[in-house]
Amino acid sequence: MSTTTDAPQVANGFRSAMRRMASSVCVITTSNGEMHQGMAASSVTSLSMQPPSLLVCINKSVAMHEAVHKAGLFCVNLLGEQHGPVCDAFGGKLSGQERFTVGQWTESAQGLRYLIDAPAAIICRLAAAHDYGTHTICIGAVEDVILAEHGAPLLYREGGVGKFVHLV
């Protein structure tokens, strides 16, 4: 077993540790009424059931940061195991509107794009935001949920995608 002590070593160790953690991948979308924005995010976590709420950590340097704060509304699209190419596109392989050429997108009553075959699409109002380091923790109050028939999630680990397998 190896341990780390000084600051750069801690950061490198932490990066390696986090790469070992498997996470679901989501695509966050928002809109100003004319332009749509989307980006991949694995930092989505359920926050509370009372009220129904979640959080997502958004880097202050990405386009989504300003867009979400301006719109005050966002959609969390949970990616399914068929959405590897969507993860790539929205994770930085494509940019801007080109990202929406990958996957089948439609629009919610609130005017936000969601994947028609996303295991879940969760529409949230930005309820609070808390800055920490390079990121802002954005808290979303859930306003609407759209569930698709098939719910198997896409998982991300060690820079690649995989799928969930039941052991028992």
Ligand X SMILES: Cc1cc2nc3c(=O)[nH]c(=O)nc-3n(C[C@H](O)[C@H](O)[C@H](O)COP(=O)(O)O)c2cc1C
Q: Can you give the binding site for ligand X, defined by CB under 6 A?
A: 25, 39-43, 57-59, 62-63, 87, 91-92, 95, 156
Which amino acid is residue 77, in one-letter code? N
H/E segment holding residue 143: strand 135-147
Distance in Å, CB of 1 to ligand X, minimum: 28
Judged by beta carbon, residue 58 or residue 120, the one nearer ligand X is: 58
Judged by beta carbon, residue 18 or residue 116, the one nearer ligand X is: 18
Judged by beta carbon, residue 39 or residue 115, the one nearer ligand X is: 39
Half-sphere exposure of 29 (CA within 13 A, CB side): 27
Q: Which residue's CB comes closest to ligand X? A: 91
Helix, strand or coil for residue 100?
helix
Distance in Å, CB of 110 to ligand X, minimum: 21
The answer for 99, left when phi > 0, alpha when psi is -120 to 50, beta otherwise, is alpha
